[in-house]
Amino acid sequence: MSDASLREEAGRLDAADGLAKIRDRFTLDETVYLDGNSLGALPATVAPRLRDVIEREWGSLRIRSWDESGWWTAPERIGDRIGALIGAAPGQVVAGDSTSVNVFKAVVAAVRMAGEDRTEILVDAATFPTDGYLAESAARMTGRTVRPVAAGAMADAMGDRTAVALVNHVDYRTGRLHDLPGTTAAAHAAGALVVWDLCHSAGALPVGLDAHGVDLAVGCSYKYLNGGPGAPAYLYVRRDLQSRFDSPLPGWNSHADPFGMSSDYLPADGAVRGRVGTPDILSLLALDAALDVWDGVDIADVRAKSLALTDFFLACVERYVPAGRVTSVTPAPHEHRGSQVALRCDDAGEVMRRLTERGVVGDYRRPDVLRFGFTPLYTRFADAERAAQVLADVLREVDEEAGAKPGPEVVEAGAEAGAPSGHDAGEGNR
């Protein structure tokens, strides 16, 4: 297809897009924002809600708001709203703490449920680092060992010594979608449990926690759920496991009678058992407001648009970018793809810096990956086309400059690819 026909195609796809109007629920400008897999955009409902929470609920009602404004029960109420997006019936998800903290709770609790003879914890070998660090610590604390296994090989690696497998549903670097139903079933066949990290799938595709019998799951709410920077994470504990969920962080908020102030710990029933201390109310209620953007949205439509967007972006990249200059590390088959496209590219850090300067914001993962996240609620097909066009322009420019330099400096430019501009901070590079 010619450049003009790809632009026309983008226009046709946007005109036919049933989710196009949802973009109006966000505060956006003309930047092509493809970093919603790191920090989702701001929903328009958040600022007015927070203003009310601060001025009326906190400013005027003060302590009464714990009951009268529903602050005390916000973690479960908001947990249920998240649950609706990840296929969990009410009463199984609690919002709060960070993903890291919830990974720790889930893995230790799973080890305790699995029993003494289950001595190993399997961890997705390409995991987002925090999960690996926490699994190591959980293993040291519980006298277990950690074995890294590729997520795709997890099902075959489970055995009678496996206590729990900790797996990322979508790989943060490549965007590969792992087999949640198959891996969960294999764990159960081996008598083990699975903890899924849903950071890169929740809000981007149907997860089906209950339908697939998942044991435990965690995730953040600041990516495709648009909860805001540092927004509370969540923990799912399947209903029939809740009575055996023995939290390694049994704070007073998970006590059956928190205001009894007893010195003996008696865990609450239900999802509340996953709580620890006083919830972060301002962040929780920002997330609550952010979840309003989902009203009337079907996650199946979100998935369909996500795949159409990433397909279209890949087609535009293939058309505009010189052959071989970038390589997609995101699987082509839909059943293995999350909602991002990751392109391996020489000088990736410098390329992303220039893309960001020109209003196309993705991010860069060292040493050589450009990540482009597609949030179907607000990303347009025209954004995908423009991003590919600007990427091609930037690559041409970078290559022309490199070609114009004398030999030794070209070598040095290549060597710098792992650490562009000396660091990887700044919008687009976190």
Ligand X SMILES: Cc1ncc(COP(=O)(O)O)c(C=O)c1O
Closer residue to ligand 3DJ in complex, CB, 87/373 = 373
Q: Does 100 bind ligand X (CB under 6 A)?
A: yes
Three-state secondary structure call for residue 266: coil
By the rule CB under 6 A, 430 interacts with ligand 3DJ:
yes
Of 16-24, 125-133, 245-253, 375-383, which part binds ligand X (CB under 6 A)? 125-133
Which amino acid is present at 331? Answer: P
CB 373 within 8 A of CB 36: yes
The DSSP output letter for 321 is: S
> Alpha helices of 88-219 — where are they, by DSSP H?
99-114, 129-142, 154-157, 180-189
Q: Which of 191, 37, 44 is nearest to 119 (CA)?
A: 191
Number of residues near ligand 3DJ (by CB under 6 A): 5
- Contact with ligand X (CB under 6 A): which of 93, 167, 194, 233? 233
- Determine phi and psi for 423, rounding to 5 degrees: -160, 175
Tell me if 128 contacts ligand X by CB under 6 A. Answer: yes
Is 131 annotated in a binding site? The answer is yes
Complex with ligand X: residue 178 or 255, whichever CB lies closer: 178
* Contacts with ligand 3DJ, 129-168, as mask; x by CB under 6 A: ----------------------------------------
At which residue do the structure tokens 């060292």 appear?
A: 366
Kindly state the tokens that stand for 83: 């649950």
Contact between 137 and ligand X by CB under 6 A: the answer reads no
Give how many residues touch ligand X by CB under 6 A. Answer: 13
d(CA 232, CA 220): 7
CA 146 distance to own-chain centroid: 23
Strand order of the β-sheet with 340-345 is 326-328, 340-345, 369-373, 363-365
Using DSSP bridges, classify how beta strands 363-365 and 369-373 pair: parallel, antiparallel or unpaired. Answer: antiparallel
Distance CA 343, CA 340 (A): 10
Is 27 annotated as contributing to ligand binding? no
Give the three-state DSSP class for 135.
helix
Of 118 and 169, nearer to ligand 3DJ (C-beta) is 169
Has 269 been annotated as catalytic?
no
Binding mask 195-224 for ligand 3DJ (x = CB under 6 A): ----x-------------------------
Is 128 a catalytic site residue? yes
Q: Indicate which of ligand 3DJ, ligand X, none lies near residue 329 (CB less than 5 to 8 Å, by partner kind).
A: none
Q: Which of 81, 105, 176, 223 is catalytic?
A: 223
Residue with tokens 């060992």: 145
* 51 interacts with ligand 3DJ by CB under 6 A: no
Residues 234-293 that bind ligand X (CB under 6 A): none
CA geometry: angle at 235 spanning 232 and 236, to 5°? 145
Does residue 239 carry a catalytic annotation? Answer: no
Residues at the site binding ligand 3DJ, with contacts judged by CB under 6 A? 38, 128, 172, 199, 430
Residues at the site binding ligand X, with contacts judged by CB under 6 A? 98-100, 128, 130-131, 168, 172, 197, 199-200, 220, 233
Annotated binding site for pyridoxal 5'-phosphate: 99-100, 128-131, 197, 200, 222, 252, 278
Instruction: Give me the active site residues, please.
Output: 128, 197, 222-223, 371
